Amino acid sequence: MRHLVLAALGVLMAVGPAEADERPNFVVMVADDLGYGDLGSYGHPDLRTPHLDRLAEEGMRFTDAYAAAPVCSPARTGLLTGRIPSRVGIYDWIPPGSDVHLPVAETTVAELLRDAGYQTVYLGKWHLNGGLGLEDQPQPDDHGFDHWFATTGFAMPTHKDPFNLVRNGEEMGPMEGYACQLLADEAGSWLTGLRDRDRPFLMVVGFHEPHEAIASPPELTDSYPATQNRNEAEYFANVTNLDLAVGRLMAALDGLGLAENTVVLFTSDNGPEMTNRHPQAQRSYGSAGNLRGKKLQLWEGGIRVPFIVRWPGHTTPASVSAAPVSGIDLLPTLAELAAVAIPETVALDGASFSPALTGGEMERKTSLFWHDYKAWGGPRVVLREGKFKLAAWWNGPEIVRTDSSTMRPGDLELIATAKLVRFELYDLEIDPGEQHDVSADHPEVVERLKTEMLEIHDQIQADVHPWKESWLRRW
């Protein structure tokens, strides 16, 4: 722990005395189902994302960044806690009315920063309990957020005129506008009217776009006439509308003179949705670029995501980093930049990527690890160390996912007893599309990574969360 605190203090000495009003602010933006290849700065040939492209030009773009899981609730769990989601007991997305929730015993990045004097704000998709306002469920304020304006899960009925936003426990009812722009409005209102100017802040914005059910401004949809159909045009317009909301938030920071002392991070919660996977996915035309797989899969296309960080005076403009980073690295990174000591009782899987922001080398005690017992069409457990990725299959049944399927009776037993029975190795440096198993060429790497993988997998199986199966019937 001592080395972490000292490193954090060293970072702050570079920007000035470690006084509360001089510590950096943090704005963390998370898109929903945005693919690795969905931004202009990540190579999309047609999508217009000028504000996010500008963010990349002003900061650092990561090429090998990951979500903590290939589906929403576990990914958001990892982002806030710095832990592998399966360790926390969040194995799949949480349906409305479920008893499953992010346990209050978990320490979040918001709690750490709030207790250190930061103001904390959450805006947008929460998806870490069965319902905002349920008395027997922890709410965003129970996890460290002073102000929140959120939905339990998706914007309903669509991104246009959502009726399910809740502000600090008060249901807002039908609202006019598109979800991303309503979040930008709330962010601007808080920054100008509610913020204590003498204290730093953490703002997390969970955009709903481009998750289905997609709805986009007609004028933006009409601006994409060269697409293969209207549904694809709507998807492109949806991403562009998200980009416009990001631009408004960046303009608010600039206008208030906050940009120079604010670390801005933009990412996605998982890979892009599969077109026509379920009836509402007709407009899901997201791109995973040159990667294999999409959302709900542990191939790179399901977990590798856009990841852009701007920190004026620290990140070199238009720089690119190939450092493997993950959503689980957010908590230790922000804690280090804010000079906040992480209690020794908090067991983290993530590591600070602060050194990477200035061109240095990260120090990671354990390899990046993913566990998804329902990952389909591929491995159920994967681990990355350096350029190598070990993928493992299990002896359990293939689980066909639909739009309404989440955990079912018997799933917890499967998680606790499944055995890994097949292993493949990929060299992501030369084969990011995961087309060639190189395990025969590197048996020593396979054995080393397999040992580490089995150790973590055994830990997860020994501590499966005993959720009541009664909640499984609510959806």
**211 and 90 within one domain:** yes
**464 and 351 within one domain:** no
For residue 76, give the CATH number of its domain. 3.40.720.10
**141 and 269 within one domain:** yes
Dihedral sign from CA coordinates of 175, 208, 223, 53: positive
**251 and 400 within one domain:** no
- CB-based contacts of 410, cutoff 8 Å, min separation 6: none
Amino acid identity, position 69: A
Whether residue 362 lies inside any domain: the answer is: no
**319 and 381 within one domain:** no
Task: Assign 136 a pLDDT band (cuts: 50, 70, 90).
Answer: confident
End residue of a domain, out of 357, 376, 401:
357
**445 and 309 within one domain:** no
End residue of a domain, out of 295, 322, 357:
357
Residue 2: the pLDDT is 31
Whether residue 339 lies inside any domain: the answer is: yes
**234 and 175 within one domain:** yes
**Distance (Å, whole) CA 285 – CA 277:** 11
Q: What's the mean per-residue pLDDT of the chain? A: 92
**376 and 336 within one domain:** no
**Distance (Å, whole) CA 109 – CA 172:** 27
**196 and 342 within one domain:** yes
**454 and 411 within one domain:** yes
- The answer to whether 373 and 386 are in contact (CB under 8 A) is no
Residue 398: the pLDDT is 76
Query: What is the per-residue pLDDT across 156-194, written as a single tens digit (0 to 9) for each?
Result: 999 999 999 999 999 999 999 999 999 999 999 999 999
Element holding 8 (H helix, E strand)? helix 2-15
SS3 34: coil
**Distance (Å, whole) CA 399 – CA 377:** 10
Least confident of 15-24, 38-47, 396-405, 448-457: 15-24
Whether residue 174 lies inside any domain: the answer is: yes
Between the two ends of the chain, the Cα-to-Cα distance in Å is 43
- The answer to whether 271 and 36 are in contact (CB under 8 A) is yes
Query: Given a cut of 60, is residue 220 above it in pLDDT?
Result: yes
- CB-based contacts of 352, cutoff 8 Å, min separation 6: 4, 7, 329, 332, 333, 335, 336, 362
- Looking at residue 390, the DSSP 8-state letter turns out to be E
Q: Is 393 exposed, middle or buried, given 0-12, 13-18 or 19+ CB atoms closer than 10 A?
A: middle
Q: Is the peptide bond before 210 cis (omega within 30 degrees of 0)?
A: yes
| 1 vs 438, more confident | 438
Structural domain harbouring 463:
368-474
Whether residue 206 lies inside any domain: the answer is: yes
Query: Given a cut of 70, is residue 471 above it in pLDDT?
Result: no
Which residues are designated catalytic?
A: 72, 127
- CB-based contacts of 195, cutoff 8 Å, min separation 6: 119, 201
Alpha helices in 315-442 (DSSP H): 330-337, 354-357, 411-417
Whether residue 347 lies inside any domain: the answer is: yes
pTM of the model: 0.93
16 torsion bin: left (phi>0), alpha (psi -120 to 50), beta (else): left
Query: Given a cut of 60, is residue 305 above it in pLDDT?
Result: yes
What is the residue whose two structure tokens read 């309903």?
A: 156
Number of domains the chain contains: 2
| 410 vs 458, more confident | 458
Phi then psi dihedrals of residue 64, to 5 deg: -125, 55
Selection from 464, 262, 348, 378 nearest residue 68 by Cα: 348
For residue 414, give the CATH number of its domain. 3.30.1120
Whether residue 97 lies inside any domain: the answer is: yes
Over residues 109-117, the mean pLDDT reads 98
Query: Given a cut of 80, is residue 288 above it in pLDDT?
Result: yes
Query: What is the per-residue pLDDT across 39-78, written as a single tens digit (0 to 9) for each?
Result: 999 999 999 999 999 999 999 999 999 999 999 999 999 9
Alpha helices in 330-442 (DSSP H): 330-337, 354-357, 411-417
Report angle CA 283, 154, 119 to the nearest 5 degrees: 130
Whether residue 363 lies inside any domain: the answer is: no
Whether residue 69 lies inside any domain: the answer is: yes
Residue 226: the pLDDT is 86
| Residues recorded for the chain | 475
Over residues 239-267, the mean pLDDT reads 98
End residue of a domain, out of 322, 357, 392:
357
R_g (Cα) of the chain, nearest Å: 21
**396 and 249 within one domain:** no
Percentage with pLDDT > 70 across the chain: 93
Residue 402: the pLDDT is 57
Amino acid identity, position 228: Q
Residue 405: the pLDDT is 57
CA distances from 408 to 71, 226, 286, 331, 470 (A): 17, 43, 29, 31, 10
- The answer to whether 412 and 374 are in contact (CB under 8 A) is no
Query: What is the per-residue pLDDT across 325-384, written as a single tens digit (0 to 9) for each?
Result: 999 999 999 999 999 999 999 999 999 999 999 999 999 999 999 999 999 889 999 999
Task: Assign 397 a pLDDT band (cuts: 50, 70, 90).
Answer: confident
Express the helix, strand and coil content of the chain in percent, nearest 5 each. Answer: 35, 15, 50
Residue 400: the pLDDT is 67
**290 and 372 within one domain:** no
